[in-house]
Amino acid sequence: MAQGLEVAVTDFQTSWNNLQHHTEEISSDRLLVRRGQAFNITLYFINRGFQPGLDNIIFVADTGDAVYLDSEPQRQEYVMNDYGFIYQGNKNWIYLCPWNYGQFEKNIIDICLQLLDKSLNFQMDPATDCVLRGSPVYISRVVCAMINSNDDNGVLSGNWSENYSDGINPVEWTGSVAILKQWHATGCQPVRYGQCWVFAAVMCTVMRCLGIPTRVITNFDSGHDTDGNLTIDEYYDNTGRILENKKKDSVWNFHVWNECWMARKDLPPGYGGWQVVDATPQETSNGLYCCGPASVRAIKEGEVDLNYDTPFAFSMVNADCMSWLVYGGKEQRLHRDTNTVGNFISTKSIQSDERDDITENYKYKEGSTQERQVFLKALQKLRAGRPQGPHQGDPRPSRPMTLSQDSPRRLDTPSLRPRDVIQVSLKFKLLDPPNMGQDISFALLAHNMSYQFKDLKVNLSAQSLLHDGSPLPPFWQDTVFIILSAEEAKTHHCKIPYSQYSQYLSTDKLIRLSALGEEMSCPEKVLVDKIITLAYPGIVINVLAAAVVGQPLSIQVMFANPLLEHAEDCMLVVEGSGLFKKQQRILIGILKPQHQASITLETVPFKSGQRQIQANLRSNKFKDIKGYRNVYVGVGL
């Protein structure tokens, strides 16, 4: 009888396999392979050679293909790309925030695996957790819960208080690598602080590092429905000022989450593909602060009974808004708006710096019969067996008041507010670009669309907003009286000095203008509002020579203080995967009013291919003047 084979050496052919599996940037001395793709291993035997027909070697590695994307450009974008853009601002003015995902940077793979081991799932039952790690549905829920720190020592602490003195203001971050490395270096203590786009960006890094196709999604006018009735309740006083919501429902100016690509064998056929996963700690799911994965197709079709957290995800993009007038201790229902929530749902385009609008993936066109049918189907599913609350009722609009969203916007879309009962139209118009440090000049346009005389009293106000929709106290108010003849239009000019708004501005740089008009002779009211995002001039980055691996490279960074006052404690932060080994932090000190400056940095690129430099300038007066530059790094000789 032939003697059995004894293995002397196993050669995992790490360099070759990692190159073929596109993991060579992660490691060159550890085998890292992707599921669904062949790899080679060579066995050397100590006692004799392998004899075909006599010897059998059985090697089993069952990984499946639950996250396989059949498009090479999509694989390059959603797995391999280590930088991208996160869209912010408001639907009238969308701007991008450059981000360094850095999933292939040194030690990131180990930090991601450590994150799995620190999860409550692993701590309670390590054996079961390890068995389930082959499921992207399971992994996405574990990672989602671990990105925030509400239940455990997760990566990030959330903070929406505007007080970040014991940490980093969320708007200052430009990449995930520094966050993950700080979490690891401090013994897995949560990093302070994050908000929705930071949670989503870090989750994108972890999921791409683990080989799961992932992208970052921004939803403008994003609903946060706390009681599951698919209605966001908003409260106003008689000046048109939006009030703090006692039910904690809100419409975020923008909200950011992730989509991960995976099969969903736990759902009916057809609901695999892109899945919503939201790491921002808003509501609990099975006792933990995580959300998803919720099938994007299930959201569009109103199948809110499918796992996981589909009702909440549906409400973020397609809830109705109910407006209430609060006066004399009473609440009067004013109007139900079916169009406000869920606009310009955006992600970075494939292998392009352009913005891709994917709203149609989430819902049918607003105002269409299909959209209302889906909404009512979702509402019916959620109402089954649920008692009705005081604000849960007739989805048909009531008409004592007209709510009109101001129409000027950067993108060509129809008005997002119905104008079904308008005798007088009010509209805001910016007279100059809303640049930080300058006065805000705007006009209120009033148009009498009837054949009758109109005597209007209009209460005007301005207040800062946080990006989650939370209002701050008004810092400017005015009352004007406008008399309009039949079909007459008039313009009232307004100006808010920088000195008046600067001390009240949030780091989100959002200002809400509102006008509540009422006729002196009848109870009809007209409410119009406009959200303004104040803009900074961007940082300009110039690469002063061709970039080549291993050769010194000079990079010029040009920036300015846009304000008419001194900016102190100025700090410039520059990073870029494959270009800098770590973040570059340069203390600038004091910048004089409107002073322009530049510095030149020296680095040696260590990875080839398309790369990106990200930069942020902060001071005691501003926190997030940003810029980026794409760089192609050649291989060299």
> What is the model's pLDDT at position 397?
34
> What is the model's pLDDT at position 469?
85
Q: Please tell me whether the overall predicted TM-score, pTM, comes out greater than 0.75 for this model.
A: yes
DSSP strand pairing (156-158 vs 191-194): parallel
The one-letter amino acid code at 597 reads A
- pLDDT tens readout for residues 613-624: 999 999 999 999
> How many whole angstroms separate alpha carbon 585 and alpha carbon 220?
32
Tokens of 406: 């101001």
pLDDT at residue 269 tops 60: yes
Q: Can you give the three-state secondary structure of 84-142, one letter per residue?
A: EEEEEEECCEEEEEEEECCCCCCCHHHHHHHHHHCCHHHHHCHHHHHHHCCCHHHHHHH
Q: What is the DSSP secondary-structure string of 562-592? A: -SSS-EEEEEEEEE-TTT-SS-EEEEEEEE-
Longest CA–CA separation in the chain, Å: 110
Lowest mean pLDDT among 246-250, 255-259, 301-305: 246-250
Residue 298 CB neighbour total at 10 angstroms: 24
Give the H/E segment covering residue 433: none
Q: What are residue 201's phi and psi, to 5 degrees?
A: -65, -40
153 CA to centre of own chain: 22
Which residues, in sequence order, are CB contacts of 282 under 8 Å at separation 6+?
Answer: 224, 289, 291, 312
> How many whole angstroms separate alpha carbon 214 and alpha carbon 260?
4
- For helices 108-117 and 196-209, give the axis angle rounded to 10 degrees: 100
Which residues, in sequence order, are CB contacts of 274 under 8 Å at separation 6+?
Answer: 259, 260, 261, 295, 296, 361
CATH 3.90.260.10 fits 72-383, yes or no: yes
Evaluate whether 319 touches 365 at the Cβ level (below 8 Å): no
What percentage of the chain has pLDDT greater than the value 70?
A: 93
Evaluate whether 502 touches 534 at the Cβ level (below 8 Å): no
pLDDT at residue 533 tops 70: yes
16: left (phi over 0), alpha (psi -120 to 50) or beta: alpha
> How many whole angstroms separate alpha carbon 192 and alpha carbon 218?
22
pLDDT at residue 414 tops 50: no
361 closest CA partner among 317, 410, 416 = 317
> What is the model's pLDDT at position 636?
75
Tokens of 557: 């960074």
Res. 28 pLDDT band, cuts 50 70 90: confident
> What is the model's pLDDT at position 57?
83
Residue 408 CB neighbour total at 10 angstroms: 10
Q: Rounded to the nearest 10 degrees, how much is the dihedral formed by the CA atoms of 204, 86, 357, 395?
A: 90
pLDDT at residue 419 tops 70: no
What percentage of the chain has pLDDT greater than the value 90?
A: 72
> Per-residue pLDDT averaged across 324-337, rounded?
82
> How many whole angstroms separate alpha carbon 322 and alpha carbon 552?
59
pLDDT at residue 337 tops 90: no
Superfamily of domain 540-633: Immunoglobulins (2.60.40.10)
Three-state DSSP state, 240: coil
Lowest mean pLDDT among 10-14, 352-356, 420-424: 420-424
- Is the link from the previous residue into 170 a cis peptide, with omega within 30 of 0? no
Res. 407 pLDDT band, cuts 50 70 90: very low
> How many whole angstroms separate alpha carbon 462 and alpha carbon 472?
10
Residue in this structure with the two tokens 């698919």, named with its chain if needed? 230
| Sequence spans of domains, the chain | 1-64, 72-383, 424-533, 540-633
Evaluate whether 625 touches 508 at the Cβ level (below 8 Å): no
The one-letter amino acid code at 471 reads P
Residue in this structure with the two tokens 């009702």, named with its chain if needed? 311
> What is the model's pLDDT at position 546?
97
Give the H/E segment covering residue 417: none
> What is the model's pLDDT at position 245?
66
Tokens of 181: 């490395």
- pLDDT tens readout for residues 54-82: 888 887 776 678 999 999 999 999 999 99
Evaluate whether 337 touches 418 at the Cβ level (below 8 Å): yes
> What is the model's pLDDT at position 323?
84
pLDDT at residue 373 tops 50: yes
Res. 417 pLDDT band, cuts 50 70 90: very low
Mean pLDDT computed over every residue of the chain? 90
CATH 3.40.50.800 fits 1-64, yes or no: no
Res. 386 pLDDT band, cuts 50 70 90: low
> What is the model's pLDDT at position 182?
98
> How many whole angstroms separate alpha carbon 429 and alpha carbon 440?
11
Rounded to a whole number, what is the distance in angstroms from the first to the last CA of the chain? 56
> Per-residue pLDDT averaged across 164-177, rounded?
97
Res. 401 pLDDT band, cuts 50 70 90: very low
Same fold, 72-383 and 424-533: no
pLDDT at residue 300 tops 70: yes
- For helices 196-209 and 177-185, give the axis angle rounded to 10 degrees: 80
Evaluate whether 598 touches 574 at the Cβ level (below 8 Å): no
Q: For the purposes of burial, counting CB atoms within 10 Å of the CB of 622, is it exposed (0-12), middle (13-18) or buried (19 or more)?
A: buried
DSSP strand pairing (231-236 vs 320-327): parallel
Q: What are residue 628's phi and psi, to 5 degrees?
A: -150, 160
> Per-residue pLDDT averaged across 264-287, rounded?
96
pLDDT at residue 510 tops 60: yes
> Per-residue pLDDT averaged across 136-154, rounded?
96
> What is the model's pLDDT at position 394?
39
> What is the model's pLDDT at position 385?
45
> Per-residue pLDDT averaged across 321-335, rounded?
83
Res. 395 pLDDT band, cuts 50 70 90: very low
Evaluate whether 430 touches 441 at the Cβ level (below 8 Å): yes
> How many whole angstroms separate alpha carbon 91 and alpha carbon 410?
8
338 closest CA partner among 352, 320, 360 = 320
Q: What is the DSSP secondary-structure string of 159-179? A: --SS--TTS--GGG--BSHHH
- pLDDT tens readout for residues 202-222: 999 999 999 999 999 999 999
Q: What is the CATH number of domain 424-533?
A: 2.60.40.10
> How many whole angstroms separate alpha carbon 365 and alpha carbon 359?
9
Q: How many helices (H) and strands (E) does the chain have?
A: 13, 31
Known catalytic residues are 196, 255, 278
pLDDT at residue 420 tops 60: no
Give the H/E segment covering residue 596: strand 596-603
> How many whole angstroms separate alpha carbon 154 and alpha carbon 115?
8
Which residues, in sequence order, are CB contacts of 365 under 8 Å at separation 6+?
Answer: 371
